[in-house]
Amino acid sequence: MENSRTMFPFPYQPYNIQEQFMQALYGALEQGKVGIFESPTGTGKSLSLICGALSWLADHEERKRQEAAALLHDGEAALSASTDPSSTTSSSAEPDWITDFVQKKAERDLVSKLKEEELKRKKREERLEMIRNNVQLKYAMKRKNCEDDETFKLLQLSKEEKTEAPEHKEDEELIIAEYESDDELKGKSRFCVAEDDEDDELVEEHVTKIYYCSRTHSQLAQFVHEVQKSPFSKDISLVTLGSRQNLCINEEVRSLGSIQRINDCCMEMQKNKHEKQHHEEGVKRKRGPAKTVCPYNKTSALQQMRDVVLGTVHDIEQLLKLGRETHSCPYYATRLSIPPAQLVVLPYQMVLHEATRKAAGVQLKGQVVIIDEAHNLSDTLSCIHSAELNGAQLCRAHSQLTQYADHTFKHKSLIVMLLFLLGIEMLTINNFHFKAHIDNINLFKVLQKYFEKSMISRKLGGFVEKYAGSGVSLHTQTNTNKENRRIEGLNRYLQTLQISSPDQQGSVEADKVLSASPMMQVEGFLMALTNSNTDGRVVVHRQDNSVKFLLLNPAVHFTQVLKECRAVIIAGGTMQPVSDFKQELLFSAGVGEERITEFSCGHVIPPENILPLVLCSGPSGQELDFTFQNRDSPRMMDETGRILSNICNVVPGGVVCFFPSYDYSRRIIAHWEASGALSRLSNKKKIFQEPKKANQVEQVLSDFSRCIQRCALDGGGLTGALLFSVVGGKMSEGINFSDDLGRCVVMVGMPYPNIKSPELQEKMSYLDKHLPHVGGRSPGQALIENLCMKAVNQSIGRAIRHRGDYSSIVLCDRRYSRPATLSKLPTWIKARTSTHTSFGPAFAALRKFFLEKKQKQV
């Protein structure tokens, strides 16, 4: 079988660029490359990924079978061949029969191993075939005391009657009892199998698989729907992973709201289940109230759901429905499905964060990872591995640790670790250790001892709840020893943080946040402090009483993924600029140029369906220069209003206008309102604005869409709608402005990040120190330009979503005409972009573009 392909199963005749994409993807996977794949939205990227990657997986498995069969045949032939002892001589001191015996044993061992692997493979295939054919499976698997395994520690129905707890001994047990965490699954077999039963199920082994990850659950659901439409839908074993918050079907637990509280409650019920099982086995139960367990725990139900998941492709909504039907927990059933699954669909964090990856049972060794929507991968890695604590969390963590230390008369050194905020400053990790007086504490040991099994993180919340208002002081009593004097200083500082109570704030949401234990955030912050001193900084903000760990080197946490995986595919609609991306994330992680492959394709739309324009001046001749010094001038704001007015005169349907920041959006709209420009715009198109709250976005988009539809039928003088949005805001990513919703996208100015930000300045300084200078630019300067253009590319990519779509893009700022800036636009847009120093020719081109489209539709 050849190691390349020219034909791929596809639900319809693929575009040429899709065939090229799949061929390049197949080659990258076969050769074990790190691939950077760019395919604009609307070109069928998801289907190309699915059909290209799954075709490779099918061929790879077939090649493995053929190679194993050939080895087995050769091994059996070697064993059956007779050897003439008289014809063999040995130059060693060992007799010939010993040499022959050792050789034969090695051959027998190889043959036995190959036969065993072939038997396992056949059993897996037969089992999946039975599942897909709806055959009733009988589970003969025997479990040797596996009930303490977390996977099966879930659930038995009931809330038992609670009795009053004794007041003394149980208190100590509450503190020192240990939780079993997700990490404890490491090293344990998912199934314990009796070796003497021929019908017993095999201990699950990880088959070769593809991990597909994306940014949001809606993007993952969309990918799963594409798999369901593909030619592979009936033959692939796919599992979708999510958090407890997304997959829990226990309504009482779901109602807790925050993911931390849901996690804590789930783990608590697992512990309760464990204690109940020991009680049923005759172990004397400790005095205290009977405890709640979750109702979805039967092992057979989990296994049944796992098999249904492996037999049919499900998205998360379908998993929730299946879980309710089978009375089985989707969160744990999907985790059981990982080893035999061929395609695992999961959020970024479950792949990119090592602790989360291990807890979920995700193993990357020799596997394929596809990271989609990866244009902000560097920022995503930094965000995932950063940590922040605010004043409220600090005060509550200090209070809880104080009570914990007072009650048990030990472990007071933990209190000292809670953050001496000394003003607004940027500190290295080592300097922060000194400032916070924790330089003599081994954080690795602290995390291992106190947090590894989540004892403090999960127990302190219950401890404080139990003792709050019951005579336990919220602060340590004054003592005379040196350690307590140090604690008193921290105590006095934390009391100066004026944190209002939830009642004072009058917010139910605030009450929910504050009622959750802050110790998980403390654990995350302490874990962040174990990074190398050069890889991060600690930012202390006195003004808002917060402290944040900022990761400067995201490559350090991407290195393991790149090393372990057979191949890594980094894909997106817009991956430009690639050179700086490679330097910061791949070369810094030790990936050589020879392992990197790049693929970028054009759009499927005809070239005449897009009109990108760079405007250097407006209708009155005013130069468009939206630098910080010029953008607030009344002349610049008035000129921008005139540009929009002209655009709305000739563009039908929807116009989406992006401003560089919320602040500038408010100022320029207020100016137009005062000058009458806004009223004039509203006479041509109904005006909508990006909402302040994320949960209002859908309603605004719905109203925007309905208005455009009504105007197309009978606008009553209106030609459509105008939507004001913000780059990097709620509508600049993941929103679809196809067809009439986005006939023109206007970009006002260039959305450069705040250069005065301490975090950004530190990042620039780090890059300048550790990365090479290219083309006369420092890496820090390149970062600023790249952040700006990535944001621009995401925003203008909201329009043109399919082959028959058409749209114009108007970039309002003379700085877009610079060759270095133009080069950072997506190739398919850059090739069609024209720069205009005066407004007249640009407006004429815009009017002609839409006139021709209108004539074609008649």
What's the pLDDT band for 178 if we cut at 50, 70, 90?
A: very low
Q: Mean pLDDT lowest for which of 85-94, 285-294, 554-563, 670-679?
A: 85-94
Strands 387-390 and 546-551: antiparallel
Cβ–Cβ < 8 Å for 174, 462: yes
Write down the residue that tokens 């074993």 correspond to. Answer: 237
Write down the residue that tokens 């995503």 correspond to. Answer: 380
Cβ–Cβ < 8 Å for 646, 673: no
Same structural domain, 726 and 649:
yes
Same structural domain, 845 and 709:
yes
Strands 720-726 and 653-659: parallel
What's the pLDDT band for 639 if we cut at 50, 70, 90?
A: very high
Q: What is the spatial distance between Cα 360 and Cα 338, in angstroms, rounded to a whole number?
A: 9
Q: How confident is the model over 172-201, as a mean pLDDT?
A: 34
Q: What is the pLDDT of residue 188?
A: 37
Long-range CB pairs of 356-361 (<8 Å, 24+ gap) are: 358/182, 358/183, 358/186, 359/181, 359/182, 359/183, 359/185, 360/182, 360/241, 360/335, 361/185, 361/190, 361/335
Q: Which of 347, 365, 383 is the last residue of a domain?
A: 365
Task: Point out which residues pair with 613 in neighbouring strands.
Answer: 810, 834
Same structural domain, 351 and 414:
no
Sorted by sequence, the CB contacts under 8 Å of residue 628 that are 6+ apart come out as: none
Q: What is the pLDDT of residue 388?
A: 86
The pLDDT tens digits of the residues spanning 583-608 come to 899 999 999 999 999 998 888 888 89
**Both structure tokens of 590:** 């030790």
Q: What are phi and psi of 550, to 5 degrees?
A: -110, 120
Q: What is the pLDDT of residue 144?
A: 37
Q: Examine residue 566 and state whether it is found in any structural domain, yes or no.
A: no
**Both structure tokens of 91:** 């130059």
* Beta strand segments in 741-790, E: 744-748
Same structural domain, 347 and 430:
no
Long-range CB pairs of 437-442 (<8 Å, 24+ gap) are: 437/486, 441/413, 441/416, 441/417
Q: What is the pLDDT of residue 477?
A: 42
Omega prior to 577 cis, within 30 of 0? yes
Q: Mean pLDDT lowest for which of 23-27, 354-358, 622-626, 715-719?
A: 715-719
Long-range CB pairs of 494-503 (<8 Å, 24+ gap) are: 494/394, 494/395, 494/398, 494/418, 497/391, 497/394, 497/395, 497/545, 499/391, 499/392, 499/395, 499/545
Q: What is the pLDDT of residue 682?
A: 93
pLDDT exceeds cutoff 70 at 489: no
Task: Point out which residues pair with 549 in neighbouring strands.
Answer: 387, 538
Q: Examine residue 58 and state whether it is found in any structural domain, yes or no.
A: no
Cβ–Cβ < 8 Å for 352, 561: yes
Instruction: Provide the CATH number for the domain around residue 259.
Output: 3.40.50.300
- Return the higher-pLDDT residue of 152 and 352: 352
Same structural domain, 415 and 358:
no
Q: Examine residue 107 and state whether it is found in any structural domain, yes or no.
A: no
pLDDT exceeds cutoff 60 at 464: no
Q: What is the spatial distance between Cα 250 and Cα 48, in angstroms, rounded to a whole number?
A: 37
Write down the residue that tokens 């760079």 correspond to. Answer: 614
Write down the residue that tokens 């005065």 correspond to. Answer: 756
CA-wise closest residue to 811 among 840, 834, 778? 834
pLDDT exceeds cutoff 80 at 436: no
Q: What is the spatial distance between Cα 267 and Cα 249, in angstroms, rounded to a whole number?
A: 15
Which residues form the domain of 626?
A: 610-857
CA distances from 733 to 376, 792, 793 (A): 11, 11, 10
Amino acid identity of 248?
C
SS3 264: helix
The pLDDT tens digits of the residues spanning 567-583 come to 999 999 888 778 878 98
Considering 166-180, 301-315, 646-660, the range whose residues carry the highest mean pLDDT is 646-660
CA distances from 267 to 250, 434, 452 (A): 13, 36, 14
CA distances from 143 to 48, 139, 797 (A): 43, 11, 54
pLDDT exceeds cutoff 90 at 18: yes
The pLDDT tens digits of the residues spanning 97-124 come to 566 666 666 767 776 777 777 777 777 7
What's the pLDDT band for 737 if we cut at 50, 70, 90?
A: confident
What's the pLDDT band for 322 if we cut at 50, 70, 90?
A: very high
Instruction: Tell me the CA end-to-end span of the chain in Å, nearest whole number.
Output: 53
Same structural domain, 357 and 247:
yes
Q: Examine residue 595 and state whether it is found in any structural domain, yes or no.
A: no
Cβ–Cβ < 8 Å for 81, 87: no
- Return the higher-pLDDT residue of 405 and 124: 124
pLDDT exceeds cutoff 50 at 62: yes
Sorted by sequence, the CB contacts under 8 Å of residue 199 that are 6+ apart come out as: 138, 140
Write down the residue that tokens 């700022």 correspond to. Answer: 813
Same structural domain, 549 and 684:
no
Q: How confident is the model over 785-797, as a mean pLDDT?
A: 90
Q: Examine residue 731 and state whether it is found in any structural domain, yes or no.
A: yes
Cβ–Cβ < 8 Å for 240, 148: no
Same structural domain, 652 and 778:
yes
Q: How confident is the model over 119-138, as a mean pLDDT?
A: 66
Same structural domain, 681 and 752:
yes
Task: Point out which residues pair with 369 in neighbouring strands.
Answer: 211, 568
Same structural domain, 795 and 655:
yes
Quickly list H helices, 676-742. Answer: 677-682, 697-714
Q: Which of 507, 528, 554 is the last residue of a domain?
A: 554
* Average predicted confidence (pLDDT) for the chain: 78
The full DSSP string for 266-295 is HHHHHHHHHHHHHHHTTPPPPSS------S
Q: Examine residue 114 and state whether it is found in any structural domain, yes or no.
A: no
SS3 838: coil
What's the pLDDT band for 497 if we cut at 50, 70, 90?
A: very low
Q: Looking at the 3D structure of the chain, how many domains does it have?
A: 3
Q: How confident is the model over 638-655, as a mean pLDDT?
A: 95
Q: Examine residue 813 and state whether it is found in any structural domain, yes or no.
A: yes
Per-residue burial over 627-641, b = 16 or more CB atoms within 10 Å of its CB, e = otherwise: eeeebeeeebbbbbb
What's the pLDDT band for 528 if we cut at 50, 70, 90?
A: confident
The pLDDT tens digits of the residues spanning 207-265 come to 999 999 998 888 899 999 999 999 999 889 999 999 888 999 999 888 887 787 888 88
The full DSSP string for 610-635 is EEEEEESB-TT--B----TTTTTSHH
Cβ–Cβ < 8 Å for 350, 561: no
Give the count of beta carbons closer than 10 Å to the beta carbon of residue 160.
12
Q: What is the spatial distance between Cα 548 and Cα 429, in angstroms, rounded to a whole number?
A: 11
Q: What is the spatial distance between Cα 823 and Cα 811, in angstroms, rounded to a whole number?
A: 14
pLDDT exceeds cutoff 90 at 650: yes
Task: Point out which residues pair with 746 in neighbouring strands.
Answer: 657, 810
Cβ–Cβ < 8 Å for 750, 816: yes
Q: What is the pLDDT of residue 198?
A: 35
Q: What is the pLDDT of residue 165?
A: 39
Cβ–Cβ < 8 Å for 846, 808: yes
The pLDDT tens digits of the residues spanning 409-433 come to 444 444 444 544 445 466 777 777 7
CA-wise closest residue to 462 among 252, 244, 177, 157? 177
Same structural domain, 407 and 351:
no
Percent of the chain predicted with pLDDT > 90: 40
Q: What are phi and psi of 200, to 5 degrees?
A: -65, 145
What's the pLDDT band for 88 if we cut at 50, 70, 90?
A: very low
Q: Examine residue 496 and state whether it is found in any structural domain, yes or no.
A: no
pLDDT exceeds cutoff 90 at 75: no
Q: How confident is the model over 337-341, as a mean pLDDT?
A: 93
Q: Which of 365, 381, 411 is the last residue of a domain?
A: 365
CA distances from 209 to 155, 194, 213, 481 (A): 30, 27, 13, 59
The pLDDT tens digits of the residues spanning 670-681 come to 999 999 999 999
DSSP state letter for 504: H
CA-wise closest residue to 12 among 803, 646, 650? 803
The pLDDT tens digits of the residues spanning 690-707 come to 988 888 888 999 999 999
- Return the higher-pLDDT residue of 670 and 128: 670
Same structural domain, 401 and 361:
no
Q: What are phi and psi of 596, to 5 degrees?
A: -95, 135
Sorted by sequence, the CB contacts under 8 Å of residue 351 that are 6+ apart come out as: 211, 213, 357, 362, 364, 369, 371, 561
Considering 438-447, 481-490, 542-551, 802-811, the range whose residues carry the highest mean pLDDT is 802-811
**Both structure tokens of 361:** 């049972």
Q: What is the pLDDT of residue 614?
A: 97
What's the pLDDT band for 37 if we cut at 50, 70, 90?
A: very high
Q: What is the pLDDT of residue 493?
A: 44
For helices 508-515 and 391-408, the axis angle rounded to 10 degrees is 40
